[in-house]
Amino acid sequence: MTTARPPILSTVGDPQEPAWRGLMEASHPRPGRPLLSLLELWARSYRREALVLRGSVTARDLYRDLVFALALRHRRRRPRMLVTDATWEPGSRTLAARLPWLQPHLPQIARLMIRALDGPHVHYAVLSQEERAVFARTWGVPVERVVFTPFPMTLYAEYDRQTHDGGYLFAGGNSLRDYDLLATALAGSGHEAHVASRWTPPTPVPGLHARPTSHDEFTELLLGCRAMVAPLERSSRSAGQQTFLNAMVLGKPVIVTDAMGVRDYVEDGVTGVVVPPDPARLREAMDHVMDPANAEHYRRMGARARAEVLGRRMPEHYVQHLVAALGYGPAPQPAEPAEPAT
């Protein structure tokens, strides 16, 4: 007797995740073999009801999932398709850096590509509520086919690790970060801060240490910080969720500059601190969190932040949103509001 194949083929996630309930079979890329991975995805996608593709594929992967979505247009029967993490900008910064001569044409090329792969069978998943309308307007697709699938924490087996207070601030990541703003706010503060990024300070700032790190070192710095700071650029897409959610699930206070999507994840004064992208306001927030007199206030805030992530922003919740977007189940119910700050 043969066993029916799962109806969903996905390049995202683990099929053992309970939220999939046996609905999904994985088709993950082969490292360093993008063309073979594309051919395997094509062969395994026949007679599926739905596909979940990764919208954040890179040039190194030859944009496998997006190329596959384009090729799928030539099939007579096209399954429902959900493109996750569709955090795209009309001009690719990576391609612009590699091929500067192409930069003026990148927005037009990107729009032509999205128009070519789009169709009534395609839905797009974005990481903030505000992005639904922005994405629809930018790429010319109906807003009804753009869904909000909140990003989860990504520490997986490490989110229960013991933390400690090393007395320093931590910031990390590269996407849409405004570390020049952080450097300006830190100047003369006397605070120690570690930045895990490719960014280099334009001028030395006492106490500020910036360097690229391995994943393990990044995690260790996060475990030992007093608070995490996310200075974000304002853009047509959201960014930074992975870093500040990982800090929140560890019970660390987070200070985030106000940008698209931030308030979908952080409630100001309750589960974190949201400040305008202004050096003086950011400095004020950092001074307050680093003052030992406020330690209990931020311990309670960190506890509320951890409860929020455990209740609504775990990997299983993300999968539930994907399943619901494809019509296989209800979306996760909102958790009870976090206890108000006192």
Q: Tell me the pLDDT tens digit for each residue of 56-68.
A: 887 777 788 999 9
The predicted structure's pLDDT at residue 91: 63
Q: What is the mean pLDDT of the chain?
A: 90
Weakest mean pLDDT among 206-210, 223-227, 255-259, 327-331: 327-331
The predicted structure's pLDDT at residue 58: 77
Evaluate whether 132 touches 157 at the Cβ level (below 8 Å).
Answer: no
Specify the pairing of strand 254-257 against strand 273-275.
parallel
Over the range 6-17, which residues count as b (16 or more CB within 10 Å of their CB) and which as e?
Answer: bbbbbbbbeeee
Work out the average pLDDT over 18-35: 88
* Listed residue (264, 261, 207) closest to 236, CA to CA: 261
The predicted structure's pLDDT at residue 342: 44
SS3 271: coil
The predicted structure's pLDDT at residue 102: 58
The predicted structure's pLDDT at residue 97: 59
The predicted structure's pLDDT at residue 156: 92
Confidence of residue 96 (pLDDT cuts 50, 70, 90): low
CA 14 → CA 22, 70, 230, distances in Å?
A: 11, 25, 29
Q: Which residues contact 238 (CB under 8 A, 6 or more apart)?
A: 87, 126, 127, 128, 130, 131, 259, 260, 261, 262, 264
Work out the average pLDDT over 320-337: 81
Q: Burial-class residue 2 by CB neighbours within 10 Å (0-12, 13-18, 19+).
A: exposed
Weakest mean pLDDT among 6-20, 41-55, 102-116: 102-116
